[in-house]
Amino acid sequence: MRLRQMAVAGALLGLLCVPAQAEARDISRDVLAENDGWAWAEGGTTGGSAADDAHVYTVTDRAGLVRALDGGSDTPKIIRIAGTIDANTDDDGDHLDCADYATDGYRTKKYLAAYDPRTWGSARPSGPQEEARQASAARQAERIVLPVGSHTTIVGLEGAVLKGASLQVRNADNVIVRNLELRDAYDCFPVWQPNTGGLGDWKTAYDNLWLNGATHVWVDHVTASDKGHPDDREPTYFARNYLRHDGLLDITGGSDLVTVSWSRFADHDKAILIGNGDTVTGDRGRLRVTLHHNEFESVVQRAPRVRFGQVHLYDNRYVAPADAVDYRYSLGVSTESRIYAENNAFHTPGHIEVADLVKSWNGTALHQTGTVFNGYPVDLLAIYNAYNSGSERDLTPDVGWTPTLHTKIDSADTADREVARGAGAGRTP
């Protein structure tokens, strides 16, 4: 707490002392503004703003990024990413593809032959090819999983891209990630799960950014997508799309006090998951998250899906393209979720209706006001309740809380225009 208070004081003093003709502000020393969502609560979020000069890095490749992250240490640090960093590279900086990670005789064709449901049945995969898949997956994980420790700021310089990586903030506190494009956390070795969804499905391992047991995290002006390897171009095996990506941003494992602002989530299936299980009752009282001024474009589902969390969702922009044949929903209301949604704007083609925007699994409540759908104000909750399939219970508007930690809340129309211009990497003010 003392470290964060000192960082805030130092940042404010620095602003007072800047000469009139100073160069452009260095955003890597920024701290979360007062009252800007849940990440402001209980001491605020300052990231690595208190780092000394010895722990300020500018990195241009994976090796430099790994050294700067220091194994996820808690030493205050600022990491500036320049250019494009590919996590799928060896120690010499040469690109690695899936064949380079494969070991112990793993081959996709052999894996498919071994676990074809017509011959294998519904048992969990086991035996030589599954063991080889696990060993191969571990080799890839050694390269692309990048742990982020407490008191860390990661900021992209102009045009910065981190591709193929899974940034993981696990059991860490006070982290900032800003102005960075996170692209294509591609899993070379998906696992077949015969009983998922009744007919089986492919399960992937990596999110572009994963908060697991993380607290006080500010994600701002980030662009996250599958750019490079869209899942809809992958083949179908066992009558299921051979998925290569999990979430763009997952907030799980009791994570708490998170603000996600002015970011863009695009061209993806499952965008944001908050809370990872209906039976994880230890998440009660946690998963307090603010999502504001974000854009969700060409996202199939989970924008977000919430379990247990107390989530403030305001001034966001949702865009489904004309060819969005796979669209499922935007707001997922799951077990004990308490979503307070204000002034969000949705743009959809004609085959997506207002009632389609919400999906409930054991949810009981959704507060919403100021929703605009294709330019017209709508009562999202009333329409959902009127048109849901009957297999889902009606949702009440009482979520048991009213947000107080927020910046100015604009009308949905105003926010829609501002987010279209200002959300995503490279657009920090």
Is residue 305 among the annotated active site residues?
Answer: no
| pLDDT at residue 19 tops 70 | no
Q: How large a percentage of the chain has pLDDT more than 90?
A: 89
Q: What is the mean pLDDT of residues 230-251?
A: 94
Cα distance between residue 253 and residue 107, in whole Å: 33
Write down the mean pLDDT value for the chain: 93
Task: From the candidates 302, 307, 317, 338, give the one annotated as an active-site residue.
Answer: 302
* DSSP of 113-178: HHT-HHHH-SSPP-SHHHHHHHHHHHHHHHHHEEE--SSEEEEE-TT-EEES-EEEEES-EEEEEE
| pLDDT at residue 16 tops 70 | no
Under 8 Å CB-to-CB from 265, ≥6 apart: which residues?
Answer: 224, 225, 248, 249, 271, 272, 294, 295, 296, 297, 299, 303
Structure-block tokens of residue 60: 């241009």
Q: Which of 126-130, 160-164, 278-282 has the lowest mean pLDDT?
A: 278-282
Report strand pairing: 181-183 vs 77-81. unpaired
Cα distance between residue 104 and residue 128, in whole Å: 9
Cα distance between residue 275 and residue 311, in whole Å: 11
pLDDT, tens digit, 9 for 90 and up, residues 106-160: 999 999 999 999 999 999 999 999 999 999 999 999 999 999 999 999 999 999 9
pLDDT, tens digit, 9 for 90 and up, residues 390-406: 767 899 999 999 999 99
pLDDT, tens digit, 9 for 90 and up, residues 313-332: 999 999 999 988 899 999 99
